[in-house]
Chain A
């Protein structure tokens, strides 16, 4: 038999929505037609991370990396690569900077600077096949823990590794486990927060989709460490593939004796089940999540008592997020020393970021703590598209802040990000260019928070609403200078008086845009202008009569018939009718339409 090749096709949500499932069918059909069924097999894997260039296809063992492979390419790819034995150059991944077609996966600028722990199996194994997970060393960490280590040793190793919560808070994972281990109680729980709510962050989904066993295994380890026998994974219902893969992983692990009673013959019992979230951002807050697991409204509880003492159904509970758990098996298998070598003094290991917005390589990447934003944005992710200028990057989602050019060289870790007015958050990273209005972005995040505030404490319920009203007023061109003071005043009250982190951090995007882009606020308030041309009431679309060739394209494209003009006569936009959608501008072949 000839060499066996494996074609790995990404089945993550990004690629799936780019028709990767149809591509897999087409590849299988082409393989059959070429009579290669014996030597080439197709595997659907989890996310490779390079979502922008999906669907992603990698031919192994040589790691030939194809991107944006369309269903129609399947036959040609199979014939060229396997029958003729040549590269299918049309779809070989091409770097952005030097336009060189890279042949190997590990040779691309996107992967070179990454260090993968939490994402190690993404794109490498079939997530629905427990045997593939076992083949790459799966469940050896659990076996080691159960057979060779005492619970206190496990807690000690995790503590020494320096691992901090990847969900945003950055609390020491080992400490958390220690509190729960020491807590008194006959019944204890472990819980996993997979209710990824930051809009634009999708690393937890990707891990559950691409490597669900790593989370199942880590939760069993955590259960052993604190003395729990039951666990819950709280997943967003909006993540159907993640739920499906996780459920399969749980069922298979049970069948293999890796969950359930007397695991690996050690007498340790652990059962795991899934609870579906129902769309509430506040459930990312730990005590709100506990309420939601109990089937109640997801409102936060006052702390203390902390979950380590009084969590699910009143029992001691540890709650970690998906990415945190995804680090555990590596720490156990490779030792805490190796993990602690990575990163900065107070932030060890790696961090996964979901990068999106105005960036060439939208996707998922994992970097060693201490990497700079400049490296992430410009080296790994290829910079800003269309030659536009970088303006700001938002980390920490609606609870975080924006980072500007002057801080691009700050090494990223928990403490540095707070020092520059943002936060790590769960790892959402949104890049904005000069076409984005920072006042509008602040309004967008506040609108999100108002929508998601649970309403339990009036500080948050009323405070965020008042802030939104002020921001809307400013975006509408009705702002006054005193509004800036009002925003800062309410922000202070929220930070001091809100019950949970959602409210306490709700004003961060406003404060951070005010600190970095005060001139934009002033332009809206004093000059009644939106410099980026986003705020509709402060922006007019106008046609330059000298440049207009009266081709009629804008007139035809306008959805509200706001443009008039005859043949050979420069067209005019009726500002009363115009809804500021920008369709005319994007349809003008002569760049005659501008925002004023």
Chain B
């Protein structure tokens, strides 16, 4: 995957806004559908949504930055989510997260330079029986210890 490029094609934005604009309280749904389409919500996308809806970009930005689900930056091909819900935390999931940051050479929350991996903590994946647990895209790894990390990363 290449670096974050400026998006110039807003056809999908127009289509999404046209579909949902008449639904009461449509902004969040539009942002969710747009992020599904583009992967993230950079400023140019927010501008396009605001223009289509006839509202200030600040309003779009306000909602986009409020919710953790929305990302203003592009993420890597593989999203590594380490559960920091309480059940996982008391079973040392922080150590898993720290080890991943060490192995990948990035800060927690960052993306590797080649846009291969993004490392994020997440709040409760809801499978506390597998604690500590992490996911890499759709793959789930439960009951892991820090030393499992190098082998797991090697699969990708």
Contact B27 A296 (CB under 8 A): yes
- B95: Cβ under 8 A from any A Cβ: yes
Complex Cα distance, B24 from A275, in Å, reads 11
- B85: Cβ under 8 A from any A Cβ: yes
- A565: Cβ under 8 A from any B Cβ: no
- A458: Cβ under 8 A from any B Cβ: no
- A199: Cβ under 8 A from any B Cβ: yes
Closest to B89 in A: A444
Contact B145 A357 (CB under 8 A): no
- B99: Cβ under 8 A from any A Cβ: yes
- A121: Cβ under 8 A from any B Cβ: no
- On chain A, the number of residues with a Cβ less than 8 Å from chain B's Cβ atoms is 60
Contact B66 A397 (CB under 8 A): no
Instruction: Decide yes or no: A362 and B129 within 8 Å by CB, A200-B86, A278-B70, A436-B90 being known contacts.
Output: yes
Instruction: Decide yes or no: A237 and B146 within 8 Å by CB, A14-B127, A356-B86 being known contacts.
Output: no
Contact A202 B126 (CB under 8 A): yes
Instruction: Decide yes or no: A441 and B90 within 8 Å by CB, A199-B123, A295-B26, A587-B147 being known contacts.
Output: yes
When distances are taken between beta carbons in the complex, the residues of chain A under 8 Å from B29 are 275-276, 295
Contact A202 B128 (CB under 8 A): yes
- A111: Cβ under 8 A from any B Cβ: no
- A214: Cβ under 8 A from any B Cβ: no
Kindly supply a per-residue 1/0 record for chain B positions 98-115, scoring 1 wherever the CB is within 8 Å of any chain A CB and 0 otherwise.
110011000000000000
Complex Cα distance, B67 from A290, in Å, reads 15
When distances are taken between beta carbons in the complex, the residues of chain A under 8 Å from B123 are 197, 199, 279, 281, 448
Contact B124 A14 (CB under 8 A): no
Smallest CB separation, A331 vs chain B (Å): 27
Contact B67 A586 (CB under 8 A): no
Kindly supply a per-residue 1/0 record for chain A positions 449-463, scoring 1 wherever the CB is within 8 Å of any chain B CB and 0 otherwise.
000001000000000
Complex Cα distance, B83 from A448, in Å, reads 13
Instruction: Decide yes or no: A51 and B86 within 8 Å by CB, A18-B142, A581-B95 being known contacts.
Output: no
Contact B146 A559 (CB under 8 A): yes
Contact B68 A14 (CB under 8 A): no
Contact B147 A199 (CB under 8 A): no
- B8: Cβ under 8 A from any A Cβ: no
Chain A, range 175-202, C-beta contacts under 8 Å to B: 197-202
Contact A199 B84 (CB under 8 A): yes
Contact B67 A430 (CB under 8 A): no
Smallest CB separation, A367 vs chain B (Å): 18
- B69: Cβ under 8 A from any A Cβ: yes
Contact B32 A237 (CB under 8 A): yes
When distances are taken between beta carbons in the complex, the residues of chain B under 8 Å from A198 are 124
Contact B146 A239 (CB under 8 A): no
Contact A278 B124 (CB under 8 A): no
Instruction: Decide yes or no: A297 and B25 within 8 Å by CB, A356-B128, A559-B99, A581-B146 being known contacts.
Output: no
Smallest CB separation, A585 vs chain B (Å): 11
When distances are taken between beta carbons in the complex, the residues of chain B under 8 Å from A362 are 87, 128-129, 131
Instruction: Decide yes or no: A294 and B25 within 8 Å by CB, A278-B32, A587-B147 being known contacts.
Output: yes
Smallest CB separation, B80 vs chain A (Å): 16
Contact A200 B85 (CB under 8 A): yes
Contact A276 B128 (CB under 8 A): no
- On chain B, the number of residues with a Cβ less than 8 Å from chain A's Cβ atoms is 44
- B62: Cβ under 8 A from any A Cβ: yes
Complex Cα distance, B131 from A454, in Å, reads 28
Please pick, from A239, A277, A559, A581, the residue contacting B126 in the complex, using a CB distance under 8 A. A239
When distances are taken between beta carbons in the complex, the residues of chain A under 8 Å from B102 are 559-560, 579
Complex Cα distance, B142 from A6, in Å, reads 29
Contact A313 B24 (CB under 8 A): yes
Contact A17 B128 (CB under 8 A): no
| Among B32, B69, B98, B124, residue most surrounded by chain A Cβ atoms (within 10 Å) | B124
Contact A295 B90 (CB under 8 A): no
Smallest CB separation, B76 vs chain A (Å): 19
Contact A17 B67 (CB under 8 A): no
Complex Cα distance, B127 from A363, in Å, reads 9
Contact A200 B146 (CB under 8 A): no
Smallest CB separation, A354 vs chain B (Å): 7
Smallest CB separation, A14 vs chain B (Å): 4
Kindly supply a per-residue 1/0 record for chain B positions 23-67, scoring 1 wherever the CB is within 8 Å of any chain A CB and 0 otherwise.
011111101100000000000000000000000000000110011
Instruction: Decide yes or no: A430 and B87 within 8 Å by CB, A14-B129, A51-B129, A239-B126 being known contacts.
Output: yes
Chain B, range 118-136, C-beta contacts under 8 Å to A: 122-131, 133
When distances are taken between beta carbons in the complex, the residues of chain A under 8 Å from B128 are 14, 51, 200, 202, 354, 356-357, 362
Complex Cα distance, B84 from A448, in Å, reads 9
Chain A, range 30-88, C-beta contacts under 8 Å to B: 51-54
Please pick, from A18, A239, A313, A441, the residue contacting B130 in the complex, using a CB distance under 8 A. A18
When distances are taken between beta carbons in the complex, the residues of chain B under 8 Å from A299 are 66
Complex Cα distance, B31 from A198, in Å, reads 25
- Residues on A close to B: CB < 8 A? 13-14, 17-18, 51-54, 197-202, 205, 237-239, 275-281, 292-299, 313, 354, 356-358, 362-363, 394, 397, 428, 430, 432, 436, 441, 444-445, 448, 454, 557, 559-560, 579, 581-583, 586-587
Q: A200-B86, A298-B67 are in contact. List 9 more A-B contacts (CB 8 A).
A: A18-B129, A199-B85, A278-B31, A279-B123, A357-B90, A430-B86, A432-B90, A444-B86, A583-B145
- Residues on B close to A: CB < 8 A? 24-29, 31-32, 62-63, 66-70, 84-87, 89-92, 95, 98-99, 102-103, 122-131, 133, 140, 142, 145-147
30 A–B pairs (Cβ distance < 8 Å), ordered by A? A14-B129, A17-B133, A18-B130, A51-B127, A51-B128, A199-B85, A199-B123, A202-B124, A205-B126, A275-B29, A278-B31, A278-B69, A278-B70, A296-B63, A297-B62, A297-B63, A354-B128, A356-B129, A357-B86, A357-B90, A357-B128, A358-B90, A362-B129, A454-B66, A559-B147, A579-B102, A581-B95, A581-B98, A581-B146, A583-B147
Q: Which 4 residue pairs are nearest across A and B when measured between Cβ atoms?
A: A356-B87, A51-B129, A278-B67, A199-B85
